[in-house]
Structure 1
Amino acid sequence: MKKVKYWVLAAVVFIGGWICGAVCSSHQFKSISLAPFYSSSLNEVATDAIALHKGESMKVLKRKTAALPSLARTYYEAFSSSMPKGKARYSCLWQVERFYEISGEEIPKGLMEVFDSIPERPESSCEKQQQKAETSKKRKL
């Protein structure tokens, strides 16, 4: 009977330690991994807000445009394969691709390889509405 109590106590201590470790790891993940992400995002938004307030919109546009190729390539190589399949995996890459479509800027060679390897971007709801509006205008004429 003492052996059973000993093993039950050992199992409870083990499970308790495992749960404590999981909780502590989760907290550390938030502190170490997520905090710098939010910090850099907040810093980026504040920097842009300052520049836009000063009337330096072209400076912001140039900085953002220059950062897109390396950020998109890094995301694709580091994270896209580990994300669940579906729109979430490709949505930010589709948005970068859309930027190049709208701006008319030449797509960098490294990004062209990325865009060629992902599924075609579905139409956005705004694009669908525009097509409906154009179709209805044509019908009226």
Structure 2
Amino acid sequence: MKVIALSGAVDTGKSHTINIAYAFLLRDGYVQVPGNFRVLGNSNNKDFIDILEKDGKKVGFVGMGDYIIGPGQSLKSLLEELETKGCDSALCAARDIPRILAAVQAYPDHIIIQKTLSTGEENHRIVNTNDAIVMINEI
């Protein structure tokens, strides 16, 4: 499985960017694989795990990449879940903490994209959309 991680500090828009990428793939004809969606952590953060599919290609999503330990909570365990379910690639958020990034680097085929920082609230959507496009282009 290829892991495409968006790395950055807390509250920089990683989860929002993952949600934008998810919406773009739905727009582009991907469909939800039933039985995989669930909310992760605090629902206000819009963190989730899910799998989309198009033409036999499965793309997993993990919007919560803040935790180092915990079954079903750590980025490592969530990526393992997506791999077990046959995902060809996974888009995830990952805090810029070495032990969290190690979960991404454990996959030989991985890329870590640094989250672009917004210069102000009026630019959040633009910056997050651009980062989502960069992630999608790596699938």
Confirm or deny a common fold (TM above 0.5).
no
The structure where helix makes up a greater share of residues is 1
With a CA cutoff of 8 Å and minimum separation of 6, indicate the structure with the bigger relative contact order: 2
Structure number with greater Rg is 1
Q: TM-score, normalised by structure 1?
A: 0.29
The structure where strand makes up a greater share of residues is 2
